[in-house]
Structures are given as structure tokens and as C-alpha cells.
């Protein structure tokens, strides 16, 4: 695992076995990180193509959220 994944895992629990709720929270944290990466990877710009970029970014973030049931 990379350092960020380890940080996310450690933010949930440190000294006990994971419950189903812990696993769900961990998955949600990873998905939120993915959504953040999409948001940061596709910049909001003032160029003529920015509308298409913004539409693609929103569509990608929405699709990931809906697919995994994250709000």
C-alpha cells in the first residue's frame, strides 16, 4: 500500500480487528480520495474547452459516487 492508503487505514483504527463498518468506512475514504484526484486532475479553466472539461469532470465524479453509493 502507498503511504496515503496506510494513513487512511490508520485513521479508522489502530489496535483492534476491523469490523464490517470499518471496512465500509475505509472503502468510502478511498473513493473520496479518488473523487478528489479526478477533481484536481481536470482543471477549471477559462478557455473555450473548459465547459467540456468541467462536464467530463462532473460526470466522472458523479459516476464513481453513484456506482459505489457514496454521496
Number of domains in the chain: 1
For the stretch 31-48, pLDDT in tens is 888 888 888 877 666 555
The pTM of the full predicted model, rounded to 2 decimals, is: 0.65
Residues 28 and 46: beta-carbon distance below 8 Å: no
Q: Are 8 and 33 in contact (CB under 8 A)?
A: yes
Print pLDDT tens along the chain (71 aa). Answer: 577 777 777 777 666 788 888 888 888 888 888 888 888 877 666 555 667 777 888 888 888 888 888 77
Q: In this structure, are residues 38 and 61 in contact, taking their beta carbons and an 8 Å threshold?
A: yes
Distance from C-alpha of 31 to C-alpha of 43, rounded to nearest angstrom: 19
* Rounded Cα–Cα distance for residues 65 and 62 (Å): 5
Range of the domain at 26: 3-68
Amino acid at each position: 500500500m502507498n503511504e496515503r492508503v496506510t494513513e487512511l487505514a490508520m485513521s479508522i483504527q489502530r489496535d483492534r480487528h476491523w469490523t464490517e463498518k470499518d471496512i465500509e468506512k475505509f472503502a468510502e475514504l478511498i473513493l473520496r480520495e479518488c473523487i478528489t484526484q479526478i477533481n484536481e486532475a481536470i482543471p477549471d479553466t477559462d478557455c473555450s474547452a473548459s465547459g467540456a472539461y468541467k462536464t467530463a469532470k462532473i460526470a466522472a465524479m458523479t459516476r464513481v459516487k453513484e456506482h459505489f453509493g457514496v454521496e
